[in-house]
Amino acid sequence: MRPFAYERAVSAEDALNRHTDDTQYLGGGTNLVDLMRLGVATPARLVDVARLPYDRIEHRADGGLVIGAAVRNSDLAADLGVRDDHPLLAQAVLAGASGQIRNQATVGGNLLQRTRCPYFQDVTKPCNKREPGTGCPAVHGDNENMAILDHSPHCVATHPSDMAVALTALDARVRVRHPGGEDVVPLARLYRSPGDDPSRDTTLRPGDLITAVEVPARLDMPARYRKVRERASFAFALVSAAVALDVADGTVRDCRIALGGVAHRPWRAHRAEDALRGRPATEASYRAAAEVELAAAEPLSGNAYKVTLAVNVITAALAGLGEDA
């Protein structure tokens, strides 16, 4: 591992002031330190932001939340208000990683964790995300776990965060501090498609500091997170779905559907949502809506199974809610 300096920021301003071109912020370190050990990340300086005063969850009367970026994943999932008002979010956090990792991982770090693409993590292999212009061996190589939607010839990686999928379904926004002030960025605008520059996962600029995540008022409809993975103890999603469904007189009034494990970003399934509103609340409608979304899929040589899986996961998750409603 390359030698590095460690510094602890005492305020957001202090963190911003300490940031230089070869600095990275340190949350719980459960992703960044792994990448440093592998030689994928080589910062000369770490600025610890996990002890900044952003370790609280603020609850609003309408169920809205302001979740500090330094809140640990375990504390978020265990918070009674979160469990009552946003069970979808608590379920997604609990579906990620292991208890030990969740105890250490922060909300800010979870949202900015890097892809688990095996080529990205292996510095002996080319990878456009790690080293722009070197190529993407996953396009024709080991791509079982890669994207089926919105990928590019330059990168077919998926975003690994479960929490981000739930927050995408909930229309969450992140508060971002930078030298010019603060921006509030919808999650839909935080994450990027790979396009011809997969080196950037997000629209953040170097040195931007996430201080909090805002979650709007509680959804007035049942919601659920469903994740399919290779083993139950801990594993990243092959496909996951965050869904919510509002049914009245047997008809779908409103719904939310977001997917994980299918794209470079948490994927909001707007086409499926539009197809489902106003339709009978039946399994046939859920499947038809899921098929509308997945019609845009462009599976790679090894991951056509994800198209069927995604349709099945959406259908099963919504059908489960239909029974609850």
**Interface contacts to ligand SF4, rule CB under 6 A:** 115, 117, 119-120, 127-129, 136-138, 155-157, 198
Q: Rule CB under 6 A: is residue 97 a binding residue for ligand FAD?
A: yes
In the complex, minimum distance from the CB of residue 118 to ligand SF4, in angstroms, rounded to a whole number: 8
Rounded to whole angstroms, the Cα distance separating 67 from 282 reads: 35
Q: Rule CB under 6 A: is residue 91 a binding residue for ligand FAD?
A: no
Rounded to whole angstroms, the Cα distance separating 292 from 41 reads: 39
Q: Rule CB under 6 A: is residue 78 a binding residue for ligand FAD?
A: no
In the complex, minimum distance from the CB of residue 289 to ligand SF4, in angstroms, rounded to a whole number: 29
Q: Rule CB under 6 A: is residue 74 a binding residue for ligand FAD?
A: no
Q: At what angle do helices 305-324 and 283-294 cross, to 10 degrees?
A: 150
Using the rule CB under 6 A, give the single segment among 21-29, 56-64, 80-88, 124-132 that binds ligand FAD: 21-29
In the complex, minimum distance from the CB of residue 136 to ligand SF4, in angstroms, rounded to a whole number: 3
The first and second tokens of residue 75, run together, are 């504390």
Toward ligand SF4, which CB reaches closer, 7 or 34? Answer: 34
In this chain, which of 68, 71, 77, 109 binds ligand FAD, going by CB under 6 A? Answer: 109
137 contact, one of ligand FAD, ligand SF4, none, CB 5-8 Å limit per kind: ligand SF4
Q: Is 116 within 8 Å of 144 (Cβ atoms)?
A: no
Mind giving me the DSSP string for 105-146?
-BHHHHHTPPP--TTTT-TTS--TTTSTTS--GGGTSS-TTS
212 contact, one of ligand SF4, ligand FAD, none, CB 5-8 Å limit per kind: none
Toward ligand SF4, which CB reaches closer, 117 or 212? Answer: 117
- State the virtual CA torsion across 222, 81, 58, 97 in degrees, nearest 10: -80
User: What are the angstrom distances between the C-alpha of 82 and each of 104, 217, 288, 315?
Assistant: 19, 11, 32, 25
Distance of CA 55 to the CA centre of its chain: 20
In this chain, which of 119, 120, 191, 236 binds ligand FAD, going by CB under 6 A? Answer: 236
Rounded to whole angstroms, the Cα distance separating 306 from 230 reads: 13
Rounded to whole angstroms, the Cα distance separating 218 from 206 reads: 33
Q: Rule CB under 6 A: is residue 28 a binding residue for ligand FAD?
A: yes
Contact positions vs ligand FAD (CB under 6 A): 24-32, 49, 69, 73, 96-97, 101, 104-106, 108-110, 112-113, 160-163, 209-210, 234, 236
